[in-house]
Chain A
Amino acid sequence: MEFASEKTHESLSKIARNDGHGEDSPYFDGWKAYDQNPFHPTQNPDGVIQMGLAENQLCFDLIEEWIKNNPTASICTSDGVGKFKDVAIFQDYHGLLEFRQAVAKFMGRVRRGKSTFDPNHIVMSGGATGASETLIFCLADPGDAFLVPSPYYPAFDRDLRWRTGVRIIPVDCDSSNNFQVTLAQIESAYTKAKEANINVKGVILTNPSNPLGITLSRETLTSLLSFTSEKNLHMVCDEIYSASVFNSPAFTSISEVMQETECNPNLVHIIYSLSKDMGLPGFRVGIIYSYNDQVVQCARKMSSFGLVSSQSQHLLASMLSDEVFIEKFLEESPRRLAKRHGHFVKGLKQANIHCLEGNAGLFLWMDLRHLMKVPTLDAEMKLWRVIIEDVKLNVSPGSSFHCPEPGFFRVCFANMDDHTVEVALKRIREFVSKRSENADDKKLLKKKHWRNTNLRLSFTSSKCDESLMSPHQRMSPHSPVPHSPLVRART
């Protein structure tokens, strides 16, 4: 059924008409390339390998085994169907008590008992996506701003801004100090914003960081917490990867730092989810944990717009309170992540590719600056197109994370099996060696043409590069070349 809808386009809201949904970002272009030609070991071995999706697929066997052994956790099995009615009716926005208790306990276990959580401060939401947005609705008015260290998770642009009308002020971090955010940078960004009459409401940290794959140090957290408290700013910590820390230093949560630092707890809020640590993004389990009673109450009322299915609450309450299982899981998952991470890093090194030294998360922050002629956004985009189309890997370009320094790419490693890892590494090795061969050829070519004017040479070379893009890409509304909103945003 097709219905003429152009004439009612103007009849939709501003929110509906703007691009705050963020889908015009190149972050999603790679996904589209993958969707059109997905890798499969036997059916499509030349397809695009998805390395742009931060999923944890390494521990499903453990969870599947647990489910098989715990039929009462499901309200569909003959063992569990007795609970069907009570669970199906339960829509109280406080959430099932057992669920909140289990999540609180789990969060405490992840932090090795260094902090404990009160089930009455746990508020549900539609995934961390819902949690982030809901928290912003509670803390800020349209036009207010939050400071966010960049590079940051691309969907924050949508989650924090789209329907809330709130702004993000990126705090640029770069390779000069391994992308670590510093108090000085935050202070400077804060001061600049104030001078421009922007009402800054707080700071949002992702710890461990996406896309960097590193944990924030205790010192950094302490200094930032002191600063925000002093300036009466909110401190929002997205700790969605907290149980995915696989190398030292161990994870330090803001909840721990709060105990040792003078601060105003009414300004501290944690976002969590089971989508990454447990690998259950489909179940939409988002958690807001606030130390501010008012925020808890407000967020809880708002959670009506995104409650967790009581069926899933029931299952997870059971799973997360199984202490034996959780202990095993919290040991085994980081172990498998460490192994996969180590293997990947080694494979990349063999291709002379280095990564930021990461200890957490489901991805690597890969340095490909040496493969670019010039350190520009254009060059990064061109290299990225080559990686997608020729190397057939969907990796995420640093610019989609608002990284101020071109040449870095986020590569996910936990969403595939071992065989696919080998295929990916092989393709990378081949690409790198071919590229250095071409570089040698190009050097020869350059020498020959040097007698001609430079202008003509650069014209020729840019034409050469354009031909790397297929007509389809050139016509794509998602092309990141000059007229992309991303570029506009940075000037």
Chain B
Amino acid sequence: MAIEIEAAPSVQLSRVADSETHGENLAYFAGWKAYDEDPYNEASNPSGVIQMGLAENQVSFDLLEECLEKHSEASTWGKGAPGFRENALFQDYHGLLTFRKAIVSFMEEIRCGGAKFDPERVVLTAGATAANELLTFILADPGDALLVPTPYYPGFDRDLRWRTGVKIVPIVCDSSNNFQITTEALEAAYELAESMNIRVRGVLITNPSNPLGVTISRSVLEDILDFATRKNIHLVSDEIYSGSVFSSSEFVSVAEVLEAREYRASERVHIVYSLSKDLGLPGFRVGTIYSYNDKVVTTARRMSSFTLISSQTQHLLACMLSDKKFAKNYIEINRTRLRKRYERIIDGLRSAGIECLKGNAGLFCWMNLSPLLEKPTRESELDLWRTMLQEVKLNISPGSSCHCSEPGWFRVCFANMSEHTLEVALERIHKYMEQRRT
């Protein structure tokens, strides 16, 4: 006689748990799954899928490893550095002062001294993911909105909206002016929100932009800041790729704009930073919020209890980044290497007949495949994306996953692989484009 084994009755979870706002059923992640199932490996799986959908910086690890060799105190916890015991016990949400000072110094170096930062305004979080969510909890109530220029980082849908209940209203940008943010677009987004009875609490920009790979110009920053001031809303500037600008003179931080204005109306401005991209250390979970608003600093610090940075990691990075010579050297060399990669991929794509947006920063390029689309629609774009994934065996990110208003654009990462792998990828694209022509 068969015995029926009843599965334990399933249980109702929260609305947040049931919602799809975590975003994982989207194309952006489907590509990752395809890669996970058939990952390229130079030796063992040379025909596998090459991961070009992951914005990681793997070009400068040798510099980090060299630095570690010089700083044994990072591991021994001895000789003047805080002992193991103190470090292991340290859970103060202010964060290690040495670490905050080191981060400040690094951020100032990236901006070539164009802005000064105060370590007392640095709030630490476990990654920029946590920083953006935390700021949203502080600046907006459920049902409110943040305005975000499109195309934008797909993770924002989860980070800004999932548990906070806050909405994103897009500031639509397009290729007619190289996707730059305009005052008209800002106003249009604000009006759209108003027409839906949604209260706008702030603008969130990413500078340099992900996925565009372009810095925002000073005059556009001024316009955005003026807009935020006019509407009396916040401005969050996610500057996570600030150290990955190919030429130092081309990056202007909102901090510099504020300094030039003698910090008038600065209490509405907050900067997000992280070491995941510039230093290539996403595993260490190092994010920061820098706010010019005292109440935001205090509240963010309290909230960071849910997402502190491991004191072991704070100690390690304090040791490394306090070495100003290393920091300066790293930033310069890293920039140069990224620029070289960028130039190589642009060149390779061009010779295959593909153009990209003229970029000057980041770990990716913004590739224009709209001429290849059957129809200028999202569906066509996704068809093309599937072809890229399944036939060309490249995982690249479709513009629609970044909420791009124009179909046919793709984000292609170039810094998360060896030079050889990049050549293999370019070779595959070449072959594909040739096949298409015949």
Contacts and interface: CB of A to CB of B under 8 A. Distances in A.
A195 interface: no
A279 B89 contact: yes
A298 B139 contact: no
Interface string B293-306: 11110010011011
Interface of A: 1-5, 7-9, 11-16, 21, 23, 55, 57, 60, 63-64, 67, 71, 74, 76-78, 80-81, 84-85, 87-91, 126-127, 129-130, 133, 137-141, 144, 158-159, 162-163, 232, 234, 264-267, 275, 279-284, 292, 294-295, 298, 301-302, 304-312, 315
B266 interface: yes
B178 interface: no
A284 B90 CA distance: 10
In this complex, the member of B8, B14, B307, B311 whose beta carbon has the largest number of chain A beta carbons within 10 angstroms is B14
A311 B137 contact: no
A189 B381 CA distance: 57
B310 A309 contact: yes
B118 interface: yes
A315 B84 CA distance: 13
15 contacts: A5-B267, A11-B234, A16-B137, A21-B303, A23-B302, A60-B85, A129-B305, A158-B305, A282-B310, A283-B310, A295-B17, A301-B24, A305-B130, A309-B283, A311-B313
A310 B283 contact: yes
B24 A5 contact: no
Contacts of B71: 76
A309 B306 contact: no
Contacts of B276: 91
Nearest to B23: A301
Given A76-B71, A138-B16, A163-B306, 18 more contacts: A2-B294, A3-B294, A12-B296, A13-B138, A16-B139, A64-B84, A71-B75, A84-B61, A85-B65, A91-B283, A163-B163, A284-B308, A302-B162, A304-B158, A306-B307, A309-B284, A309-B285, A310-B285
Given A280-B88, A311-B284, A9 B309 contact: no
Nearest to B166: A13
A346 B88 CA distance: 30
A11 B69 CA distance: 48
Contact of A126 (B126, B137, B294): B126
Contacts of A3: 263, 266-267, 292-294
Contacts of B159: 305
A21 B15 contact: no
B129 interface: yes
A5 B294 contact: yes
Contacts of B302: 21, 23
B141 interface: yes
B172 to A, nearest CB: 25
A88 B16 contact: no
Nearest to A162: B303
Contacts of A295: 13, 17
Nearest to B294: A5
A4 B8 contact: no
User: Which of B68, B84, B126 has its CB near the most chain A CB atoms (within 10 A)?
Assistant: B126
Contacts of A16: 137-139, 295-296, 299
A284 B267 contact: no
The 9 residue pairs across chains A and B that have the minimum distance between CB atoms: A282-B311, A310-B283, A76-B75, A309-B310, A91-B282, A281-B91, A306-B307, A90-B283, A21-B302
B138 A282 contact: no
B159 to A, nearest CB: 8
B316 A76 contact: yes
A137 B75 contact: no
A266 B144 CA distance: 34
Interface string B199-223: 0010000000000000000000000
Nearest to B297: A5
Interface of B: 8-11, 13-17, 22, 24, 56, 58, 61, 64-65, 68-69, 71-72, 74-76, 84-85, 87-91, 118, 121, 126-127, 129-130, 133, 137-141, 144, 158-159, 162-163, 201, 232-234, 263, 266-268, 276, 280-285, 292-296, 299, 302-303, 305-313, 316
Instruction: Among B61, B276, B305, find the residue whose CB has the most chain A CB atoms closer than 10 A.
Output: B305
Contact of A304 (B85, B129, B295): B129
Among B10, B163, B284, max chain A CB count under 10 A is at: B284
Given A12-B139, A15-B138, A84-B64, A281 B88 contact: yes
B11 A137 contact: no
A306 B267 contact: no
B14 A140 contact: yes
Contact of A139 (B14, B58, B72, B307): B14
Contacts of B158: 301, 304
A312 B16 CA distance: 29
A294 B88 contact: no
Given A89-B56, A282-B310, A298-B17, A264 B11 contact: yes
B92 to A, nearest CB: 9
A126 B316 contact: no
Contacts of B303: 21, 162-163
A129 B74 CA distance: 27
A266 B11 contact: yes
B8 A266 contact: yes
Given A282-B90, A311-B310, A11 B201 contact: yes
B91 A284 contact: yes
Contact of B9 (A4, A264, A282, A311): A264
B293 A13 contact: no
B9 A266 contact: yes
Contacts of B201: 11, 13
A312 B139 contact: no
Contacts of A74: 75
A9 B312 CA distance: 35
A278 to B, nearest CB: 9
Nearest to B268: A8
B74 A76 contact: yes
A179 B292 CA distance: 47
A307 B16 CA distance: 19
Given A5-B267, A76-B74, A89-B56, A141 B14 contact: yes
Nearest to B266: A3
B306 A133 contact: yes
A88 B284 contact: yes
Contacts of A91: 127, 276, 282-283, 285
Contacts of A137: 14, 16-17, 163
Given A5-B293, A15-B138, A305 B312 contact: no
Contacts of A306: 126, 130, 306-307
A485 B234 CA distance: 31
A357 to B, nearest CB: 29
B75 A77 contact: yes
B312 to A, nearest CB: 5
A11 B233 contact: yes
Contacts of B263: 1, 3
Given A12-B296, A284-B310, A84 B58 contact: no
B285 A139 contact: no
A7 to B, nearest CB: 8
A310 B316 CA distance: 13
B131 to A, nearest CB: 10
B337 to A, nearest CB: 15
B137 A163 contact: yes
A92 B292 CA distance: 33
B8 to A, nearest CB: 5
Contacts of B61: 84-85, 88
Contacts of A308: 285, 310
A306 B263 CA distance: 32
